[in-house]
Amino acid sequence: MTILVTGGAGFIGSNFVLDWLAGSDEPVVNIDKLTYAGNLENLASLQGDGRHIFVKADIGDYAVVLDLLKKDKIRAVVNFAAESHVDRSIHGPEDFIQTNILGSFRLLEAVRCYWNGLDEPDKQAFRLLHVSTDEVYGSLEKTDPQFSETHQYRPNSPYSASKAASDHLVRAYHHTYGLPVLTTNCSNNYGPYHFPEKLIPLCIQNALMGKALPIYGDGQQIRDWLYVKDHCSAIRRVLAAGQVGEVYNVGGWNEKANLEVVHTLCNMLDELKPRADGKSYAEQITYVTDRPGHDRRYAIDATKLQLELGWKPAETFDTGIRKTVQWYLEHQSWVNNVLSGDYQSWLEKNYAGREA
């Protein structure tokens, strides 16, 4: 038996592959297009491991995906493949339409063709798990209840709109064709191998390099933070026991304002890697112009996942963020390899003109 993981060289996908093979001998066929955020160095520890088969491919390549499904007799697909950064979607939405909508459609078509050809017992056992985001639900006010699985979709960015479209396609393929699907909508992930364009790794690295720690607007945008390894355990649980056709929200029960998160990082770095001048990294915090349409608050209600499948996160924010900071301090060679010229060009493009 073998599973197929798409986007398995990205942040969450690579953590899932590593987590899966640490606890199972079931092989993983891992396909990734290796765009800027896909990094085979994340999977370096699996080099020479016969349980991990990597294929550089696009989920939009119907023929390649179908061939892999048939050749390796895949019993489950876990789809992480997506363009996933709001700021990038504002600057260039077309890539998000191509990957998140058209790519998801072609993946679904390949899976549907393969699934239709299976024997009945294998058809019954097969699963496609689609990994999505809480951003499809839009923005909450401070006193609003958390997002539940029945919350109305109100995406506010090209990124979240494209993910919402992919969620709807997955739902439609279940209701129209009977395809055995599962969908998870997660909150903000953090942890090892996180590409340093996102808030936590960006601030860790900028702090260590003596650069400004950019805070959008007033820094009071609230997010629910989920340690990536807890997300991996939730996906494993949903894949094993989730009810076909259902949606499961995955959250960390850790609502924090962005400014609070950055102050926590500064305090931790002050402890673990003090500045040479003895001052706090918090002195590097700089307020910049907010991004267009910035959602104010996300918050996940993961009660359904806990009550129905018995899952809850193992990490608090304090334990998870400490593990994350320590990982980045111990893996500066990985960070330096990621900080390529292309990444530097992106930073200049995104933050140019945002006056402090």
Q: Which residues are catalytic?
A: 134-135, 159
Query: The tokens 């993961």 sit on which residue?
Result: 302
State the amino acid at position 190 in one-letter form: Y
In DSSP terms, 54 is beta-bridged to: 30
| Tokens representing residue 221 in the block | 């945008």
Segment (H or E) for 166: helix 158-177
* Among 265, 37, 247, residue whose Cα is nearest residue 159: 37
CA end-to-end span of the chain:
54
Helix, strand, coil shares of the chain as percentages rounded to 5? 50, 15, 35
Length of the chain: 356
Q: Identify the burial level of 181 via C-beta atoms within 10 angstroms of its C-beta, where 0-12 means exposed, 13-18 middle and 19 or more buried.
A: buried
Q: Are 294 and 217 in contact (CB under 8 A)?
A: yes
| Tokens representing residue 190 in the block | 């953090």
Backbone dihedral region of 114: left (phi > 0), alpha (psi from -120 to 50 degrees) or beta?
alpha
Q: b/e string for 89-114 if b means 16 or more Cβ within 10 A?
A: bbeebebbbebbbebbbbbbebbbeb
* Among 190, 218, 230, 144, residue whose Cα is nearest residue 325: 190
Distance (Å, rounded) from C-alpha 3 to C-alpha 77? Answer: 6
